[in-house]
Amino acid sequence: MAKTKTSTAVKRRWLDKNMSPLNTRLPKDLAETFRARVAERGDTIAGVIRAAVERYLEGDAPHTPVAPSTDRTDTPAAPEEDA
């Protein structure tokens, strides 16, 4: 039996119907370290994040919200207003 090819449009429609993107911003050093660790373990970023979300929702992951730091140097300061 011949193998069939699924068109890009069909794949895109399936993804749009069944998946939802989650975007986040991380400090560059944290993101680079994360990418390197994922690669050295042979995992995928999506797989690691999916597993973490599933553990969190099942209650197996600790709930440790982190308040934004007040001394962040990686975020540009807001412009000062003229008095």
Question: Residue 82: pLDDT above 90?
Answer: no
* 38 touches 44 (CB < 8 A): yes
* Backbone φ/ψ region at 59: left (φ over 0), alpha (ψ -120 to 50), beta: left
Of the pLDDT bands very low, low, confident and very high (cuts 50, 70, 90), residue 59 is: confident
Per-residue pLDDT tens for 2-50? Answer: 666 779 999 999 999 999 999 999 999 999 999 999 999 999 999 999 9
The whole-model pTM stands at 0.62
